[in-house]
Amino acid sequence: MSSRLIGVLSGKNFVPPPLWMMRQAGRYLPEYQETRKKAGSFWTMCQTPELAAEVTLQPVRRFGFDAAILFSDILTVPAALGLKVAFDDGPKLPTITSTQGLERAHEAWAAALAPAYETLRLVRPALGADTALLGFAGAPWTLATYMAAGGGGDEQKAAKLWAYRDPAGFAKLIDVLVDAVSRHLVGQLQAGADAVQIFDSWASGLTPQGFKDWVVRPTARVVAAVRAVLPEAKIIGFPRGATLAGLERYARETGVDAVSLDTAVPVGWAAEKLGDDVALQGNLDPLALLAGGDALARGVAAILEAGRNSRLVFNLGHGILPETPIAHVEQLIALVRGSS
């Protein structure tokens, strides 16, 4: 693959930088809404390779982004561990408080994860060589927060309490997840993904020790396990809401090739402190994209300026919001691509 995104992950610097958007296959696109209606449910869409491939390709077709990212959900991994996942009003899954009954039973594993691999096999040949195909998984800590709380939202509370009260038991859950996440990432890379992103969406609010124990170490283990099978695997990590001290540790100790920055991280700081170790991805505020106009132009300019001597992948600091006008995405692309 000769895509510019993989180039950045491999040590090159491009001006203008390659560009994609987290949640680029999403509700702001009318063609996505249409496929979603046809599918009937979000989960059906994730688990039906033809539909998942279609929505994965839609934003690349419309905007010519430098990467496509597999349409799937981080809760496919808990599902693969035998937990029944539903998406009625937001994600729902059974609350767990121990690892009993959690196993990679072959049947649940294949039912939950095979569709992702099949989707990647369908998408890769439909993309040009200059477009990277990304797989992804939730990080062990973030998956644990969902599994301990039984749902989505700002619910680190149950996982934190478990980790405080029974560190050994919680470590067993993390072990199970390190294994499952690693295997799922390997599966995606073997099915055609050119790189993978690990989403630690609930990495905020941990103590420094907690961040080290539950974010940095499990991620380092995942990266090592993936590279044990695929030594050249390219991996992006996104510890959303990490402190700057946490980001330094994450960049140095996990082995990821790139760190995706949330909106609050100063790109200039990241270029100086992390830029020798990793490529940087990010970090336009999705609300600046929604607002458009001057706010969007200023936000893009600030990131390009601060990151111009770095290996940068232009992205948002978090997923695009469903109410974002398509015209603003077009404005974003023009601003980034006109920046050479």
Residues with catalytic function: 23, 27, 36, 73, 146
Query: Closest CB to a second copy among 192 and 282?
Result: 282
Strands 132-138 and 195-200: parallel
**282 scored as a contact of a second copy (CB under 8 A):** no
**272 scored as a contact of a second copy (CB under 8 A):** no
**245 scored as a contact of a second copy (CB under 8 A):** yes
Query: Closest CB to a second copy among 30 and 167?
Result: 167
Those residues whose C-beta lies under 8 Å from the C-beta of residue 97, and which sit 6 or more positions away, are 148, 162
Supply the minimum distance, in Å, between the C-beta of residue 161 and a second copy.
6
Q: How far is CA 64 from the centre of its chain?
A: 20
Interatomic CA distance for residues 207 and 235, integer angstroms: 25
**150 scored as a contact of a second copy (CB under 8 A):** no
Among 30, 64, 101, 293, interactor with a second copy by CB under 8 A: 293
Reported as half-sphere exposure (CB side, CA atoms, 13 A), residue 259 has a value of 31
Among 105, 157, 224, 330, interactor with a second copy by CB under 8 A: 157
Query: Closest CB to a second copy among 55 and 149?
Result: 149
Closest alpha carbon to 127 in 1, 213, 244: 1
Query: Closest CB to a second copy among 23 and 183?
Result: 23
**205 scored as a contact of a second copy (CB under 8 A):** yes
The residue with tokens 């969902």 is 146
Interatomic CA distance for residues 13 and 82, integer angstroms: 43
**209 scored as a contact of a second copy (CB under 8 A):** yes
Is the Cα torsion angle 317, 46, 19, 10 positive or negative in sign?
Answer: positive
Helix axes 157-165, 140-149, angle to 10 degrees: 100
Q: How many residues of this chain interact with a second copy, rule: CB under 8 A? A: 36
Supply the minimum distance, in Å, between the C-beta of residue 160 and a second copy.
5
Q: Please give the single-letter amino acid code of residue 253.
A: E
Among 244, 308, 319, 339, interactor with a second copy by CB under 8 A: 244
Measure the CA angle with vertex 57, ends 55 and 62; round to 5°. Answer: 100
**285 scored as a contact of a second copy (CB under 8 A):** yes
Interatomic CA distance for residues 237 and 281, integer angstroms: 9
- The string of DSSP letters for 151-173 reads B-SS--HHHHHHHHH-HHHHHHH
Among 221, 262, 300, 333, interactor with a second copy by CB under 8 A: 262
Beta bridge pairs of residue 156: none
**206 scored as a contact of a second copy (CB under 8 A):** yes
**322 scored as a contact of a second copy (CB under 8 A):** no
Supply the minimum distance, in Å, between the C-beta of residue 247 and a second copy.
9
Q: Which residues bind a second copy (CB under 8 A)?
A: 154, 157, 160-161, 164-165, 167, 204-211, 241, 243-246, 262-266, 269, 285, 287-288, 290-291, 293, 295, 298-299, 302
